[in-house]
Structure 1
């Protein structure tokens, strides 16, 4: 039996004593305080176990804390800290360099290996960041790709819908936020303009 399980069973035993109901309120208070202490100690053991998780360079991890989600890639690990690239989902913010202490930081305590979906989200946010954009931020003149076909953004509508014109197509296609994941940003309008100026110059 693990120490954590023993502590939880001890807490249950203390609570059972209170439920019997034949003790004074002062004695019941002692039992309940013991139960709280056992539960807290079991939680500390779990946190310490999580902190022992080895972080590997190049691997992706994620954590959720206070309704905030973050996905990060470990770039380097030292004895007391690690450097990461991070995507804070709740802020829609990508950071190329962040340091987490490996002892008792929230990121270390609550992190777990990232899922395939979380890794894909991180890589998409990283790609947009490399283009100077937030995740799924499109502008008129951007070159996008969907299913091996390139198109150009011709309009951004009031509620964020993206209108794309594909070569040889008479009709334009409008995309809403929930299917932006199908679109790959190939070249931004700014990159196209800079390339055109380079050719002219």
Structure 2
């Protein structure tokens, strides 16, 4: 299934609305907290990217184990591979939310991790018999993809991104929408600005 940029956001809004309902509805059955939406956000971005990129495989929430056992197993949101080489790692965020005060620290920790795995061998696996040997590319990049600018720190572009750009050479950050947050109960699709340039910048970087 191919999604346009606008359709990705429309599907995200739909998922948010469904997340507040019980999976198996009944007139006397009520849900308090919403279902987690993060996995759907990952799947949506993966579906969009696989339709835009040629010659790649995308692994979603796949265990990444390094041959060097001093490095712990990680579960990146998306891994983009060409042949048997991991060239891009993506972390998908609904918004900056809980990280609004420590986004720089978050990026610097990801930078340290990426720097430690550059050029090394690893394995992707869910089960022992499904192990897929991989190499980490020498020019690997880590992409932080944020669906909504809402709940983020003020002056994000002016005060935070310059520090990230200076101290984290492997990391790129993208914000896909502005305006209304897709999770609002009464969200109006016309109130969400889809940043098509950011989608395109992401595709071009992969």
TM-score for both structures, normalised by structure 2: 0.23
Q: Which has the higher contact order (CA 8 A, sep 6+)?
A: 2
Larger Rg: 1
